[in-house]
Amino acid sequence: LVSLVAQQPTQAEQPRIPKDSSQPEDPKEDRGAEETPKQEDEQPAEAPEIKVEEPVESKEETVNQPVEQPKVETPAVEKQTEPTEEPKVEVTTVETREEVIPFATKEQEDDTLKRGTRQVAQEGVNGKKQITETYKTIRGEKTNEAPTVEETVLQAPQDEIIKKGTKGLEKPTLEWVKTDKDVLKKSATASYTLNKPDGVEIKSIKVALKDNTGTVIKEVTVEENNLNATLDNLKYYQGYTLSTTMVYNRGEGEETEMLEDKEVQLDLKKVEIKNIKETSLMSVDDAGVETDKSLLTEKPTDVAPLYLRVTTHDNKT
């Protein structure tokens, strides 16, 4: 914008009249004339220059006519219209779904059932529920606010009931039946019977062979499906003891039961023979080959393979 200042109209200069020399001079006029500087020497004050489209013709016209104000054009400014923000309107959205309610399992003790026994008394059935969630939305979008959740049980679940036996199981029974001796092979075989109730676990059955001092010489494990224990390399005319031990579990931890000890001894039978023709000392090796050792030159260190053969007159041996 250009600041315009209107030029003040300038007072027209009065023509100077020459003073007649014949007229007496007024001392006051002279003093005033001397004090007042000549108007020719005065410089008019400079007014701000205003550029207008049309020049000013004369000072007199400027005095008589108003000065036309210059037109200043201001560039048009586009008016920007801000978009009006739509009001936020909250609405609610409801969502529903169904979920399964799993059944619970409960155990009940039953003293009429054997310990370790489990029995289903009631089958379990799953239930069903409806979940309703209500969300707040703005322009179709869910807000960060947590939804309101409501659950409705459509079908209650049915618990599964299992009965657990607490009645103690009966003990297993292991009994010695007999001991078979094989004198010539210097061995003995003990036989047993076993009565095991359902639910009982047999951990082990072992037979220990002890000498007359109580020292364990050998130990044999008896299998549950083969209740025989064979003990070999026995000595003649020496008493042995068979000690049998059974370890089992009835669901209450391991239990041990020991059977009554059984004695075993191998003795050669004494036979009275009449009408003896001759006797021979025979030796039998591992292959079953017999050798006559009647003419001994020294005391044998191992008499196990030796036996005495007796022959009668009727050639009976």
167 vs 175, which has greater pLDDT?
A: 175
Report the sign of the C-alpha dihedral through residues 106, 111, 117, 123, in that order. Answer: negative
> Which of the residue ranges 45-54, 108-117, 189-198 would you say has the lowest mean pLDDT?
45-54
pTM: 0.42
Domains of the chain: 27-64 (no CATH), 90-167 (2.20.230.10), 179-265 (2.60.40.10), 276-312 (no CATH)
What three-state secondary structure class fits 29? Answer: helix
**CB of 242 within 8 A of CB of 264?**
yes
Rg (CA), the chain: 71
What confidence tens digit (pLDDT) does each residue in 71-82 have? 656 655 555 556
Residue with tokens 């005033």: 32
What confidence tens digit (pLDDT) does each residue in 8-48 have? 444 444 445 444 444 444 444 444 444 444 444 444 445 55
Q: Mean pLDDT score of the chain, rounded to an integer?
A: 78
Q: Given pLDDT bands bounded at 50, 70 and 90, which one contains residue 131?
A: very high
d(CA 105, CA 288): 71
Average pLDDT over residues 226-239: 92
- Written as one letter, the residue type at 271 is V
243 vs 166, which has greater pLDDT?
A: 243
> Which of the residue ranges 61-65, 213-217, 236-240, 275-279 would you say has the lowest mean pLDDT?
61-65
What confidence tens digit (pLDDT) does each residue in 176-200 have? 999 999 988 899 999 999 999 888 8
> Which of the residue ranges 52-66, 127-141, 183-197, 201-215 would you say has the lowest mean pLDDT?
52-66
- To which H or E segment does residue 92 belong? strand 90-101
Contacts of 302 (CB under 8 A, 6+ apart): none
Average pLDDT over residues 115-138: 91
